[in-house]
Structure 1
Amino acid sequence: MLKSAELPDCCYPNQPILICPSCPTPKHSLYLSNLDDQKFLRFSIKYLYLFKKSVSLDCLKYSLSKVLVDYYPLAGRLRATSEDDQKLKVDCNGEGAVFAEAFMDITAEEFLELSKKPNRSWRKLLYRVEALSFLDVPPLVVQVTNLRCGGMILCTAINHCLCDGIGTSQFLHAWAHITGKPNLDLPITPFHSRQVLKPRSPAQINFSHPGYTRTNPKDNTHMDIVKFLQSQPLVPTSLIFTTSHILQLKRQCVPSLKCTTFEALASHTWRSWVRSLDLSPSLNAKLLFSVNIRKKLIPEIPQGFYGNGFVLGCAQANAKDLVSANLHHVVRLVQQAKSVLNDDCIRSMVDLLEDKTVKTDLSTSLVISQWSKLGLEDLDFGEGQPLHMGPLTSDIYCLFLPVIGDSDAVRVLVSMPEGIVEKFEFYMKEFLDKEDNKDGNGYHEEDNGLI
């Protein structure tokens, strides 16, 4: 067994290669919408999968070359447009995705022991592309690491400017589908055009958008929580909420309020985060969370849309109110933030983002991204579903992750300064002690119409 949480080094038997589409693909510049090329999204989504049994490297390379025919922008390169160096496009040139193969002297069981909390040594599991800037990193980087036991770890880095979580899941499932069933058509054909999300001319900004602010480097009048957090060593905290735990949270909103699992857990996490940070009572704290807009626009975005089809909902309240409020009140704030996101509001947001001085307001915000309902944990390349699925690294942004083997449970992962983690975990679990004596009251979720 491993003597520490530090992973051994990877051995690379060969230099990484570029995997190009297996047949010619369209050569053109792909327009990126204002939702795609926000500075907030200029990073790669990094997934880590652990499989009990490895898949042939040749099969994975061959199927990747085939799936890149349909998902050809991932084989291209990001560029700044000639008209505006802050506006990005994709040069669909078929240059290829980076594919690295490696070996690590570890077993799947040993990795599972470590899998509750990522640590910095996990970065060894994804090949680091030497690049001068974010634009020089290929949109898709893959590393397959074979293990001593015959298992494998698959890590992927997919540029967020090209797609969101739904799109990454769609691509990974397409790749797995072609690997296991090479002669069958893809279940979903990707739709690459983003014209439906073009801004209007003239712009019609008819709503306030509290999740955004204009760049003003001279404004130092309020605390920047992100800078405060990032100025300290961060450690990940990982908490699993079972179906029973989530039901206990929802009970706090009964009988007058129906709420979803996400609304209840996001509200509870936001409140616990604010409580643990001991913020100034008058500070305006925000919760930013992704909302899928594919069915909210008129007309609806086409099926298979392969771009960023989400906006950030923004709930806000001063810290004093959040700390003193009950969960019912906080859930209402989250629901109100979701309810305003109709077609008019979303298009107003797209128009607002045409102004490149506008940026996501992270200064006093907790950002939550939900990975737990995207089907990411169901990925199967022909040798069975993963033993573990999660991010390669943990950050101050909070992830709601799937729990392998329990589709209704959620794992909450976020990194915080070491001196704050214990308080945050206490507030996150505090309600369980209070509810322990209420389990025998005959309450059933379905009786109360909760979602």
Structure 2
Amino acid sequence: MATPSPSTLVFSVRRREPELVVPAKPTPHEIKQLSDIDDQEGLRFQVPVIMFYKSDPSMKGKDPVKVIREALAETLVFYYPFAGRLVEGPNRKLMVDCTGEGVLFIEADANVRIEQLGHDIIQPPCPYSKELLYHVPGSEGILGCPLLLIQVTRFICGGFIFAIRLNHTMSDAYGFVQFLNTVGEFARGSTDAPSLSPVWQRELLNARHPPHITCTHHEYEELLDTKSTTIDMDEDDNNNNNMVQRSFFFGPQEIRAIRKHLPQHLRTSSSTFEVLTACLWRCRTIALQLDQEEIVRLSCVTNARGKRVLHLPSGYYGNAFVFPAALSKARLLCTNPLGYALQLVKTAKGQLTEEYMRSVADLLVIKGRPLYITKRNYIVSDTTRSGFDEINFGWGKPIYGGLAGAISLISFYVRFKSSGGEDGIVVPLCLPQEVMERFQEELKGMIQEPVEDLYDPKPAKF
């Protein structure tokens, strides 16, 4: 049977009134400061995540809304700051007022089977994201608003969609998954404390006393003295109302094709993330048709967890990353072989040291927590190992779990299985319509096999 397309599927969601879910037991009422990495301007926004779950015969008779709501209340006993509200102190310092007011929760029902959505709808960006994650009016602020918004939408087949919106100042992807895994443990029947105890200790990523900038931070340099709080792509002279989102799948075949554009020593010494990031940055810059002497940037979100950098304790769920930037003139990036971009990506990633992280925190305090540079910048965040695709509320792993789409100039790499069952990475991008068309053509030339191996020329025939 053919799967309905988004244009022919009659899809509707019936929502109940939003409610507040509070911790299942009394929790401390206290003020807890965020770290100086957490409360920078560039993290003061909401992040939507979505997970699709098929029905499971072993869970017949169990209501995912009830199960998850009760598990959420138990989880908030241990992660009680999420039930509070943010307040701002001197020098724009953010703090959580642990009031126990709770998180927003919406119960909903869809009129179709989850299988009817089809592969193209599940792949980000989901065209029904507004129906599946209703943005309650007045809830989207950073200060004084719920820190989480959750909607659980049941489907007539017994499957459901779990969608959640996070105030990014509270956690990064790894910390957020830690929280969601705890919800999953309680949903599956645990009555004990979480298997991984949450650790606050945000002071570990605070600025030094006195703060002093010791490294070069290209990701902030043009905004050091500005108070701008608007994230504007500013990618070209097009009207930004013309922005579109599309996502691109990269399986083994596509990655293999991109590697053929590299010399042998870079093929074997470069990770998939590095190769893919270099390719996307170069194709995107070519598509933008910038002045050739303009400086363009690529910022790689680089996580400090698991590295011998800051020795963060297991269970830390705050933001623990920086985004060091690579710089190039547009002309050099567009005209040089792919290896040029790849070397810049490697150099940017390699900047993460303890001193670099400390210097970022110091800069943010000294300069009033500025926004990272947005002009001619492209930010990439690899969430393929964060664990969104492993969250289990009792119905098994999701058929898709990850970010709901690109956010302005930020692309997220997400694990995904193609319609043919092939494992790979899906990357959503946000660009003006005409730029997106040029980007697709440029990318097509990089990944469409057979690609001639540029560094393995065949012997000439005489």
Q: Does 1:105 align with 2:107?
A: no
Q: What TM-score comes out, normalization by structure 1 length?
A: 0.89
CA distance in 2, matches of 1:225, 1:157: 26
32 and 229 in structure 1: CA distance in 2 versus 1, 3 angstrom threshold:
farther
Q: Give the alignment partner of residue 359 of structure 2, picking from 341, 348, 356.
A: 348
CA distance in 2, matches of 1:6, 1:282: 48
Q: Give the alignment partner of residue 315 of structure 1, picking from 326, 329, 342.
A: 326
304 and 218 in structure 1: CA distance in 2 versus 1, 3 angstrom threshold:
closer
Deviation at 1:254, TM superposition (A): 4.0
Q: Does 1:431 align with 2:446?
A: yes
Equivalent position of 2:39 in the other structure: 37
Equivalent position of 1:274 in the other structure: 285
Structure 2 counterparts to residues 244-255 of structure 1, below 5 A: 244-255=253-264
CA distance in 1, matches of 2:309, 2:376: 33
Q: Which amino acid aligns with 1:370?
A: D
Q: Does 1:240 align with 2:249?
A: yes
Structure 2 counterparts to residues 46-65 of structure 1, below 5 A: 46-53=48-55, 55-65=63-73
Deviation at 1:248, TM superposition (A): 3.2
Q: Does 1:161 align with 2:137?
A: no
Q: Does 1:10 align with 2:16?
A: no
Deviation at 1:253, TM superposition (A): 3.3
Equivalent position of 1:128 in the other structure: 135
Q: CA RMSD in A?
A: 2.6
Structure 1, residues 356-386: CA drift from partner, whole Å, max 9, x if none? Answer: 1632001110111222121211221111221
Q: 180-189 or 64-73, which moves further after superposition?
A: 180-189
Equivalent position of 2:411 in the other structure: 398
Deviation at 1:68, TM superposition (A): 1.0
CA distance in 2, matches of 1:386, 1:69: 25
Asked if 2 retains the 8 angstrom alpha-carbon contact of 1:30 and 1:92, the reply is: yes
Q: 329-338 or 22-31, which moves further after superposition?
A: 22-31
Structure 1, residues 238-271: CA drift from partner, whole Å, max 9, x if none? Answer: 1111123223323433432311111111111100
Deviation at 1:192, TM superposition (A): 0.9
CA distance in 2, matches of 1:300, 1:352: 21
Equivalent position of 1:422 in the other structure: 437
Deviation at 1:325, TM superposition (A): 1.5
CA distance in 1, matches of 2:262, 2:37: 34
Asked if 1 retains the 8 angstrom alpha-carbon contact of 2:405 and 2:428, the reply is: no
Q: Give the alignment partner of residue 302 of structure 2, picking from 271, 291, 316.
A: 291
Deviation at 1:236, TM superposition (A): 1.5
Equivalent position of 1:92 in the other structure: 98
CA distance in 1, matches of 2:157, 2:400: 16
Structure 1, residues 16-73: CA drift from partner, whole Å, max 9, x if none? Answer: 2111111122221111112101111111221111111284322111111111111111
Structure 1, residues 319-376: CA drift from partner, whole Å, max 9, x if none? Answer: 0000011121211111111222211111111100002163200111011122212121
Q: 388-397 or 169-178, which moves further after superposition?
A: 388-397
Q: Give the alignment partner of residue 272 of structure 2, picking from 261, 269, 275.
A: 261
Q: What TM-score comes out, normalization by structure 2 length?
A: 0.87
Q: Which amino acid aligns with 1:162?
A: M
Q: Which amino acid aligns with 1:15?
A: E
Deviation at 1:224, TM superposition (A): 6.7
Asked if 2 retains the 8 angstrom alpha-carbon contact of 1:7 and 1:122, the reply is: no
Q: 249-258 or 24-33, which moves further after superposition?
A: 249-258
Deviation at 1:184, TM superposition (A): 4.9
Asked if 1 retains the 8 angstrom alpha-carbon contact of 2:46 and 2:167, the reply is: yes
After TM superposition, the runs of 4+ consecutive aligned structure 1 residues lying more than 6 A away are none
Asked if 2 retains the 8 angstrom alpha-carbon contact of 1:296 and 1:343, the reply is: no
Structure 2 counterparts to residues 74-223 of structure 1, below 5 A: 74-81=82-89, 83-84=90-91, 86-113=92-119, 114-118=121-125, 121-131=128-138, 133-213=141-221, 214=223
SS at match of 2:182: helix
174 and 228 in structure 1: CA distance in 2 versus 1, 3 angstrom threshold:
farther
Q: Which amino acid aligns with 2:132?
A: L
141 and 6 in structure 1: CA distance in 2 versus 1, 3 angstrom threshold:
farther
SS at match of 1:428: helix
353 and 5 in structure 1: CA distance in 2 versus 1, 3 angstrom threshold:
farther
CA distance in 2, matches of 1:226, 1:335: 24
178 and 360 in structure 1: CA distance in 2 versus 1, 3 angstrom threshold:
same
Asked if 2 retains the 8 angstrom alpha-carbon contact of 1:290 and 1:369, the reply is: yes
CA distance in 2, matches of 1:99, 1:299: 35
CA distance in 2, matches of 1:285, 1:195: 34
Q: 66-75 or 295-304, which moves further after superposition?
A: 295-304
Q: Percent identity?
A: 28
Q: Does 1:363 align with 2:375?
A: yes
Q: 135-144 or 123-132, which moves further after superposition?
A: 123-132
Asked if 2 retains the 8 angstrom alpha-carbon contact of 1:31 and 1:193, the reply is: no
Aligned length: 434
Q: 418-427 or 105-114, which moves further after superposition?
A: 105-114
Deviation at 1:75, TM superposition (A): 0.8
22 and 224 in structure 1: CA distance in 2 versus 1, 3 angstrom threshold:
closer
Q: Which amino acid aligns with 1:157?
A: R
Deviation at 1:2, TM superposition (A): 6.0
Q: Which amino acid aligns with 1:267?
A: A
CA distance in 2, matches of 1:116, 1:280: 34
Deviation at 1:216, TM superposition (A): 5.2
SS at match of 1:285: strand
Deviation at 1:275, TM superposition (A): 0.6
Unaligned runs of 5+ residues in structure 1 are 442-451
Asked if 2 retains the 8 angstrom alpha-carbon contact of 1:75 and 1:138, the reply is: yes
309 and 4 in structure 1: CA distance in 2 versus 1, 3 angstrom threshold:
same
SS at match of 1:413: strand
Equivalent position of 2:459 in the other structure: none
Structure 1, residues 106-159: CA drift from partner, whole Å, max 9, x if none? Answer: 221222342234256421211322227331331111001111222211110111
Q: Which amino acid aligns with 1:49?
A: M
